[in-house]
Structure 1
Amino acid sequence: MLCSDNARPMHMRLRLWAPPRDLPGSLESEWRLVAVRWSGIVLMAPALQLLNLETHRLVAAYGVLGGAAVYNLFVQAALWRRPGLLTSGYLTTLGDGLLNVAMISLGGGFDTPFYFLLYTVTIAAAMRYGYGPTAAGSAIFVVCDLLELRLAGKAPDGPFLLRSGFLALTGILASHLREQAWRAQSALHDQLRQAEHEALHDRLTGLPNRSLLLNRIQQAIATASETGRGLALLVVDLDRFKEVNDTLGHHYGDMLLPQAGARFVQALPSQ
C-alpha cells in the first residue's frame, strides 16, 4: 500500500500533463498548455508578493491572475464540450497574448521581469504555426513595448533593443525547431509506411503475402463478431500451381490467380 500511495501523486501529475487517448491529436498541445497555465498561475500567485508592487498594481495584477484562471477553466471545459473552437489554436494564442500584455502593463511595464511571460507565448506560437504567425506576434509585442516607451516620453534604448531582439530570435529558433521536428516526423512516417508495406507484401512480386492474409482474416473475424454476421473462409491449394511459376514465371502465375478466383465466385450461389 505504501508504494501505491507514493505512486498516486506521480500518476495524478502524469494525468494532468498527458492528454487522454481519445483526445484528437490537434488538441494535444492545448491539453498540455492548460497544465502549463495552471503551473504559471500557481507560480505567480506568491511571486507577486515579492515584487514590491504598489498596492493598486498588486490588486490589478491579482485581478489579471484571477482572469487567467477563469480563462483556463473555460479552455479546459471547451476541450471536452466545444473542441472545434480550439482546433486551430488561434483563440488561445490570442488569449494568452492579451493576458500577458495586461499583466506586463499592470506589473510595471515591459522593462520588468514580467517581460519573460512573452517568451512562453512566442515559443508556443512558434511550435504551433512556424515563422509567419510567430513573427507577426513578436512584432505586436515589440510595438506595444515601443508605444509604452513613447507614452512615457522615452526613446528606444539599449534594454528595449536587447529584449526585442532576443524575443525575435527566440521565435525564429523555435520556428526552426518546429520545422525540423515536422520533417523528422514526416520522414519517420514514410519509413514506417514503407516498412509496413515490405512486411505485408512479397518483395519480388509486390503482391500481398501470408502476413497480410492473416491480418485480413483477423479483421474479417472481428467485423463479423461485432456485426453478428456469419463468416466463411475458403482455403484452396491449386494443383501444380508451382509448375506454372517455375515454367512460365511468376507473372503468369499472378495472372492465373484472379481468373481462378473469378471462377470460384461464379460457382457460388447468388445469395
Structure 2
Amino acid sequence: MPPAAVELLVVLPTYNERDSLAAVVAGVRRSLPEADILIVDDGSPDGTGAIADALAADDSHVSVRHRAGKSGLGTAYVLGFAAALSDGYRTVVAMDADGSHRAEDLPALVAASRAGAGLVIGTRWMEGGRIVNWPAYRRWISRGGTWFARALLGSRLRDLTSGFRVIQLEWLRRIDLEALDSQGYGFQVETAWTLERMGCPVTEIPITFVERADGRSKMSLGIVLEAFANVVRWSWRSRSRRTTAD
C-alpha cells in the first residue's frame, strides 16, 4: 500500500504516443507532484513503451504495464483501475496521454474529489468548458453522442463521453470491472452511467479540451458504432429490468 500522503494514481493508456507522452507525464508531475502515474502501453510499434520505461527509470512515481498488443481503451483502464484497487490507493485519475487533457486542470478536478465527489468529470459541454482546434465533425460526434446517451439512459450528466475524470476508489470497488464490456470510448459512458445509477455523488468541472498536436486520433467509425450499439443495449436491458421488477 502506498504511503498515506500518496493517495492518487493517474492512469495513462498509450498506443503510439511517443511524441506526447513525456510532456504529459511532466505536466502531471508538476500539477500533482504527490501522485503516482501508471502508463499502460498496448505494445505501441512506434516505441512509446521504451519511452515509458525510460520515464519510469528516472522517476519512482512512474510505473509501466506492457501489453502484447492493442486491446482497447476500456481494458487498459480496467487494468489500471484494478492496480489502483490492489495497491491501496484512495483515488484514481483517468486521462488521455495525447495532450488533449491539460494537466493544469487536474488540481481543480482533484479538489472536487476531495470535497466529497465520488466521480468528477472534466466537462467540455458546460459553461466555462472549451474545445480548441476540433473540426466540426468531431464536435458533432461528441455532442451528438452525449445527447443520444443521455436520452436513452436517462442520465443527467453533461459530458458522458469525457475521458478526463477522477474516481474515488470506495465507489469504483462497487463496480464489477470484469463485467464492463466496452472496448472503446463507450467505456467512458458505461462507467459514468453505472456510478450515476448507484447514487455516486458526481461533480462536473469545466475544462479546456485541446485537439492533439502530435500523432493520430484513435477515433474511428468502429468505435462510434460500438458505443452506439452498447448504449442501445444498456438502455434496453435497464428498461427490461424495471419492467420485470414492476
Please classify the TM superposition score into its range, dividing by the shorter chain length.
under 0.3
Under a length normalisation based on structure 2, what TM-score does the superposition of the two structures give?
0.26
Under a length normalisation based on structure 1, what TM-score does the superposition of the two structures give?
0.25
Higher relative contact order (CA 8 A, sep 6+): 2
Larger radius of gyration: 1
Flag the structure with higher helix content: 1
